[in-house]
Amino acid sequence: MSDVYQAIANSSVGNKILSSLNLPIPAILDRYAPDQTSFIKGDVIVGAAPGSKAITTVLATLKGATEANLHTLAGLAAEADVQKAAGTAGVSVSNYTANKEDSQRFKGLVFDATGVSNTAELRALYDFFHPLTRKLGSCGRVVIIGRIPENCSLEQRIAQRGLEGLIKSLGKEIKKASIANLIYVDDGAEAQVASPLHFFLSPKSAYVSGQAVRVGAADFAADGFNWKKPLTGKTALVTGAARGIGAAIAEVLARDGAKVIVLDIPPMAEDLKKVASQIGGIALEGDITAADAPTKISAAAMEHGGLDIIVHNAGVTRDKTMAGMPDKFWDMVIDINIGSEERINAQLLKDGSLKDGGRIVCVSSISGIAGNMGQTNYATSKAAVIGMVQGMAADLLGRNITINAVAPGFIETQMTAAIPFTIREAGRRMNSMSQGGQPVDVAETISFFSSPASQGMTGNIVRVCGQSLIGA
């Protein structure tokens, strides 16, 4: 669905009028184009707190950004550590001296805070971000790397947990379609930062801000990894893929190299075939709530050598307040949005049609995090999706299967086009980007979780909501 307000706000006359009225100007977001050669382009400044351990991986990852110029901040306590890490990573990092007057703009600000072990040491983040925040250019990227608070000693845990407040507030301050995100990494798992760093620095994360992901140990090695086609040789199945977010997920997974089986209900057969033919995929008609759906999906998967990735995207709304809701609305939403996913997962895991090393990616919603008037059924189902992800993650570690969820905010699809105008406009604007996201924004996040490079990430819930105020 098109956003007429955004189009007006970005015309020269409209921009002047809306700015004079102090109304939000939803910027045009930078999105990923397959022909781009560097995942981030422009000047990137990196810093670290003393004793931090992820900086070498940060610099080694940025070495792959062929159109980025790397700098560090002169005078930072860990300046020498950054230069030493640059030597190890084989990159050249110039010293930038902060100067309010110069016109220098950075595309990315990256800070390794893994060395922060108490609240006093949080000062290192002020020292880095205070002189640099105003120097972040449009569609800029801020990434902080910290330690997983739950796995730290008490003093360190308190300080590291503080980073979430910092990143969420920075996300709200930086404006101009810029984003800020946090990567929490376990001690010893620093090499696994490569995948989330790639994602959060690239245009693929255009509508993801204020999020914290947790990364643990894994055997993924970035050397020689094909970041342009990360899903080469993988087979994926996407439910609800005839239109909207599901169709975008199928397209992005195929673009990233996967063979994709797209599934939707028989009445959507025509649209489903179109999606399949556009991406060279396989159409599979079926209702995920049917009693034989799990075995049908498993059989289709086996025909193609088993699945590496399953994306539970199909979902419906049937909005009514609890008092006015017919029981069929309750039953339908719970069964499509969560019950069927539980049954399909159980089958695919039991018979091995989801291979070891596989990926389960679920689509939740910010309604499931914040609740929403008129959506008790939907919010219950989407919160239950989060429960499923968090409940299954640990058990699947032994098979190297990861399970994560995305929680979209307001995304421009037929589902949101059906919302009454005033509520729709409120949902669309109440976020740091003052606009709705596109289906591709959800799809990019799902492809990121699906990647072999994301082996160290499980049990995460990432909102794709432009930092919506709802449930923030």
Ligand X SMILES: NC(=O)c1ccc[n+]([C@@H]2O[C@H](COP(=O)([O-])OP(=O)(O)OC[C@H]3O[C@@H](n4cnc5c(N)ncnc54)[C@H](O)[C@@H]3O)[C@@H](O)[C@H]2O)c1
Binding site for ligand X (CB under 6 A): 239-240, 242-246, 264-265, 268, 287-289, 313-316, 336, 363, 365, 408, 410-411, 413-416
Instruction: Pick the closest to residue 83 from 97, 95, 75 (CA basis).
Output: 95
Residue 40 contacts residue 141 (beta carbons within 8 Å): yes
Instruction: Select 79 or 287, whichever has its Cβ closest to ligand X.
Output: 287
Strand partners, 284: 263
User: Residue 163: phi, psi to the nearest 5?
Assistant: -60, -30
Q: How far apart are CA 363 and CA 436, in angstroms?
A: 17
Instruction: Select 26 or 315, whichever has its Cβ closest to ligand X.
Output: 315
Least CB distance to ligand X at residue 254 (A):
17
Residue 180 contacts residue 433 (beta carbons within 8 Å): no
Instruction: Select 97 or 278, whichever has its Cβ closest to ligand X.
Output: 278
Q: Give catalytic status of residue 378 as yes or no.
A: yes
Instruction: Pick the closest to residue 258 from 283, 282, 236, 227 (CA basis).
Output: 236
The answer for 276, left when phi > 0, alpha when psi is -120 to 50, beta otherwise, is alpha
Instruction: Select 149 or 246, whichever has its Cβ closest to ligand X.
Output: 246
Instruction: Select 214 or 296, whichever has its Cβ closest to ligand X.
Output: 296
Structure tokens at 208: 């993801």
Least CB distance to ligand X at residue 466 (A):
11
Q: How far apart are CA 147 and CA 187, in angstroms?
A: 7
Structure tokens at 204: 């693929």
Least CB distance to ligand X at residue 185 (A):
28
Least CB distance to ligand X at residue 244 (A):
2
Instruction: Select 313 or 460, whichever has its Cβ closest to ligand X.
Output: 313
Least CB distance to ligand X at residue 314 (A):
4
Q: How far apart are CA 377 and CA 365, in angstroms?
A: 12
Q: How far apart are CA 469 and CA 430, in angstroms?
A: 6
Structure tokens at 10: 């970005």
Q: How far apart are CA 149 and CA 154, in angstroms?
A: 9
Instruction: Pick the closest to residue 113 from 153, 64, 156 (CA basis).
Output: 156
Least CB distance to ligand X at residue 443 (A):
10
Q: How many CB atoms lie within 10 A of CB 127?
A: 18
Instruction: Select 201 or 383, whichever has its Cβ closest to ligand X.
Output: 383
Least CB distance to ligand X at residue 330 (A):
15
Q: Residue 12 to residues 137, 193, 429, 434: CA-CA distances in angstroms? A: 20, 41, 20, 18
User: Residue 89: phi, psi to the nearest 5?
Assistant: -80, -15
Instruction: Pick the closest to residue 194 from 208, 183, 204 (CA basis).
Output: 183
Position of minimal CB gap to ligand X = 315
- Angle (CA) 267 244 292, round 5°: 45
Residue 451 contacts residue 195 (beta carbons within 8 Å): yes
Least CB distance to ligand X at residue 422 (A):
16
Least CB distance to ligand X at residue 49 (A):
36
Instruction: Select 313 or 434, whichever has its Cβ closest to ligand X.
Output: 313
**Which position among 96, 184, 207, 378 bears the catalytic label?**
378
Angle of helix 340-351 relative to helix 376-396, nearest 10 degrees, comes to 20
End-to-end CA separation in angstroms for the chain:
25
- CA 136 to chain centroid, in Å, comes to 21
Instruction: Select 160 or 404, whichever has its Cβ closest to ligand X.
Output: 404
Kindly tell me the burial class for residue 375, based on how many C-beta atoms sit within 10 Å of its own C-beta (0-12, 13-18, 19 or more).
Answer: buried
Q: Which residues form the catalytic set?
A: 378
